[in-house]
Structure 1
Amino acid sequence: MPFTPPKEPAPVLHGHRAAILRFDAQGSPLYESDGLLVVETAGAGGRCARIVDVGSHQAVLARHPGLAVTHWPGKLIAPGFIDLHLHYPQTDIIGAPADGLLPWLETYTFPAESRFADAGHAAEVAGFFLNELTRHGVTTALVFASSHPESVQALFNAAWLRGLRLITGKVLQDRHCPDGVRDDTEQGLVDSEELIDEWHLRERLGYAITPRFAPTSSDAQLRGAGELAAFYPDTWIQSHVAENLDETRWVRELFPEARSYLDVYARAGLLRPRAVYAHCIHLDDADRALMRECGSAAAVSPTSNLFLGSGFFDFEAAARTGMAWGLASDVGGGTSFSPFHTMLAAYYVGREGQTKPGLSLRPSALWWHHTGAAAAALGLEGVVGNLQPGCEADFIVLDPQATPLLARRTALAANLEELLFAMIVLGDDRLVVRSHIAARPAD
């Protein structure tokens, strides 16, 4: 008898009733105090889920008679957060003291990352790391692994088992780093291509070509990374740029022919859409314009920059030049997995760290840059980072009364901006009742 493939299970609709926060295409908030989010789940194992309808409870329910609904009284449903830059091999060195970025790398980072040649250690940390992300409401992340292919395998495997949308890659670093984390120029590129072939675009996973930063890659390795990016144009690129003044001076010495630190990457073919560069503090307007023209984006990491004394991201200059940016924790230089801590630190930087201090970033804008704008930085607008029809069903359920002080303050909120700001200032992981990954509870 001819083989008959098993039938895919019929799609299932389910509703979630609560207050709902989403955004329009320009990032303006849309809010329903009594909303209904309708999710369609399909595919074997229910691993594919998309939003099919959203709006006021009364109007949406009328379009779906008989819909099964989970009610979340007193709760707020929002898009899952997107973390644009963090290092899973640095999970165990959060809060390690150092005099600045370069001493921190030598004293803590490289020794910690050397352990990720051990597949068992990599798998244990990967599981803990992803649990921390979802516990804090992060449902998509762009992540550095270590220079060891084993570290990438472990993280991809853990993310695939959870159904997460996650992008990661093997760190490329063939110089100016110690034995145990330094890779071979050619072998590092070969390993990267093999990992692309195995994991890139497997369900919700993606590969990022990952030079650590210009000082730790030779010209040959940077050029090879650019050639790899050109051959695989739908991959991502991630690295660091202009984080620290000492690092920036070092790059000037190593690459005297380049106009700027960013120009080092441009010359190697590493500026394009889907390229995300962490920090971008010590840039000029020509660099910012170049990022805009190339479609690249900045991952702004305020807790890390404050902790390591690196400097302040210039939000005013980014707006003036049209440079795209989104928010990131930068764990372990960053001090928390919490998007609320990241947004609050970004607010502080806006108030104090600009050329003209006193900028007040609107609470809804901070939220947008940790969701929809971050999705756009990844080339995933309309896919994640929002709760509009057609988006993947990654969403979080928040409790504005999670702590006594939060409950007292949110009860007095006069409008949406006050409500969001109270959660940013007073919130942490206790706010997150549940993270849903492709509509499934992460726990």
Structure 2
Amino acid sequence: MTGKRLILGQVLEFLGDPAQLGAGATRHRRHGAVLIAEGRIAAVDEADTLRAAHPDVAVTDHGAHLILPGFIDAHAHYPQTAIIASWGKRLIDWLTSYTFPEEMRFADPSYAAEVAARYFDLVLAQGTTTVASYCTIHPESVNAYFTEAQARGLRMLAGKTCMDRDTAPAGLRDTAQSAYDDSKALIGRWHGVDRLSYIITPRFSPTSTRAQLGALGALWAEHPDCLMQTHLSEQTDEIAWMHSLYPEARDYLDTYEAHGLLRENGLYGHAIHLTPREIDRLAEVGAALVHCPTSNTFIGSGLFDMGLRARMRVGLATDTGGGSSFSMLRTMAAAYEIAQLRGMALHPSESIWLATGASAEALRLGDRIGRLAPGYEADMVVLDLASTPAIAQATTRAEDIWQAVFPTIMMGDDRAVAQTYVMGRPVVPA
């Protein structure tokens, strides 16, 4: 990643959260440019200004296409790639019928490697450059994910999913001790290597014993710079299941809190049916929630409260394969629709921020990715704002950038992704 390059197009810069800063959160350059040097963003300015200052630098001109930070998927299950869009009823049925049988296959390193390669092909084609993924109980699944990510120079996060309770099938159970030992070894091998980060990953309290949650809480205390990810209050019947297994718990969050699994570096996926106490505690410790809108509608979980962003960090995620799309554009559209059902109209700037800067902040990477700014890693997506006839006819009527980009948010797919860049290097389309 040597040398410099100018990437030209419409440029949308975010200075912060539009929900907090309003119109001052963004800067739109109709004829803008991003200067890349050594895989990082060196400058963002008007195209004429940067071309005059760097007359000998190679130029890629994307015309009227829109340059954004690469999309960041804050919660996914790469081992579920092959079972996306499988018909199911509720969460527990879906896990039993599809997820668990598929995840058993990841004991085979060659199969894990095959799926990891396919998964990164799919998400990069959608403009997604960073993912926080659950793997399976098999260390092989983690090694396959990180090996493939490292070879491609990607900034990726993941962890071995831990389950030792007999609510999980025998072929997908570890133990409290092996969960601790395997996770610790994987941290030593991968965490902080190149652009990779390890996440301590109990699947959720219904599939872990108290001993395993405690062991992972102890591991997190030993490695507080790691994130911890798990599921929280996704469905009402899941909550009832949890209470049957943890009758002493005040609420779902208490099963994690009692075992050292609640602090600021925690990522709590779904978080739909939260009690007032849970909201207060999550906000108090500075934890992050991850909104998974296509999954929440596909499996019938409920409607996330986007108003929680006023109190804590909230990232956005596909939750594939429970989610029904690898596309963060589709995920943004679903988040908009769910917010509408709860009486909140997300501005297009908020939708984009959720899929970029907000997810970066949820993952504690807001100083490296998620924005187009000097010093940031040059992971970017270039969007064609007229990628289909339906989108093009809507865009031609636009009076500002937000009217121009909103049809792509609501109707766009991989056809809208004109180019994906990883550390300034074009990776798709071929």
Alignment: residue pair count: 421
Distance in 2 of aligned mates of 1:210 and 1:81: 22
Distance in 2 of aligned mates of 1:288 and 1:55: 41
Sequence identity, in percent?
43
Distance in 2 of aligned mates of 1:30 and 1:134: 26
Instruction: Determine if the alignment matches structure 1 residue 289 to structure 2 residue 280.
Output: yes
Which whole-Å deviations, capped at 9, do the CAs of 1:369-417 have from their partners, x for residues lacking one? 1100110111111210110111100001111121122222112111122
Distance in 2 of aligned mates of 1:407 and 1:338: 19
- Give the equivalent residue in structure 2 for 1:367: 352
Instruction: Determine if the alignment matches structure 1 residue 400 to structure 2 residue 380.
Output: no
Distance in 1 of aligned mates of 2:58 and 2:227: 39
The alignment partner of 1:370 has SS state of helix
Distance in 2 of aligned mates of 1:382 and 1:18: 24
Aligned counterpart for 2:204 among listed residues 192, 198, 213: 213
Which whole-Å deviations, capped at 9, do the CAs of 1:276-334 have from their partners, x for residues lacking one? 11100010233122222222111100100001011110112x045x1211110000110
The alignment partner of 2:171 has SS state of coil
- Give the equivalent residue in structure 1 for 2:424: 439
- Give the equivalent residue in structure 2 for 1:222: 213
Given that 2:75 and 2:318 are in contact with CA atoms closer than 8 Å, whether structure 1 keeps it comes out as yes
- Give the equivalent residue in structure 1 for 2:263: 272
Distance in 2 of aligned mates of 1:294 and 1:69: 46
Moved more, 83-92 or 405-414: 405-414
Given that 1:119 and 1:154 are in contact with CA atoms closer than 8 Å, whether structure 2 keeps it comes out as yes
Taking structure 2 as the reference length, the TM-score comes to 0.95
User: Does the C-alpha gap of structure 1 residues 271 and 63 become closer, same or farther in structure 2, counting only changes over 3 Å?
Assistant: farther
- Superposed CA RMSD in Å reads 1.3
Given that 2:17 and 2:350 are in contact with CA atoms closer than 8 Å, whether structure 1 keeps it comes out as no
User: Does the C-alpha gap of structure 1 residues 319 and 167 become closer, same or farther in structure 2, counting only changes over 3 Å?
Assistant: closer
- Give the equivalent residue in structure 2 for 1:159: 149
How far 1:65 sits from its partner (Å)?
Answer: 4.1
- Give the equivalent residue in structure 2 for 1:235: 226
Taking structure 1 as the reference length, the TM-score comes to 0.93
User: Does the C-alpha gap of structure 1 residues 26 and 314 become closer, same or farther in structure 2, counting only changes over 3 Å?
Assistant: closer
Distance in 1 of aligned mates of 2:84 and 2:315: 21
Aligned counterpart for 2:337 among listed residues 348, 351, 357: 348
Given that 2:263 and 2:286 are in contact with CA atoms closer than 8 Å, whether structure 1 keeps it comes out as yes
Aligned counterpart for 1:418 among listed residues 379, 403, 410: 403
Gaps of 5+ in 1: 1-8, 42-48
Given that 2:202 and 2:213 are in contact with CA atoms closer than 8 Å, whether structure 1 keeps it comes out as yes
Distance in 1 of aligned mates of 2:276 and 2:155: 33
Given that 1:303 and 1:345 are in contact with CA atoms closer than 8 Å, whether structure 2 keeps it comes out as yes
The alignment partner of 2:390 has SS state of helix
Distance in 2 of aligned mates of 1:382 and 1:246: 38
Spell out the pairing of 1:135-214 with structure 2 (5 A cutoff): 135-175=125-165, 176-214=167-205
- Give the equivalent residue in structure 2 for 1:387: 372
Which whole-Å deviations, capped at 9, do the CAs of 1:206-225 have from their partners, x for residues lacking one? 00000000011111110111
Distance in 1 of aligned mates of 2:393 and 2:45: 27
Instruction: Determine if the alignment matches structure 1 residue 131 to structure 2 residue 133.
Output: no
Distance in 2 of aligned mates of 1:121 and 1:95: 20
Given that 2:9 and 2:30 are in contact with CA atoms closer than 8 Å, whether structure 1 keeps it comes out as yes
Given that 2:75 and 2:269 are in contact with CA atoms closer than 8 Å, whether structure 1 keeps it comes out as yes
How far 1:73 sits from its partner (Å)?
Answer: 1.3
Moved more, 23-32 or 323-332: 23-32
Which whole-Å deviations, capped at 9, do the CAs of 1:62-113 have from their partners, x for residues lacking one? 4434332211112111110000001011111111112100111111110010
Given that 1:413 and 1:419 are in contact with CA atoms closer than 8 Å, whether structure 2 keeps it comes out as yes
Instruction: Determine if the alignment matches structure 1 residue 117 to structure 2 residue 102.
Output: no
Instruction: Determine if the alignment matches structure 1 residue 31 to structure 2 residue 19.
Output: no
User: Does the C-alpha gap of structure 1 residues 294 and 63 become closer, same or farther in structure 2, counting only changes over 3 Å?
Assistant: farther
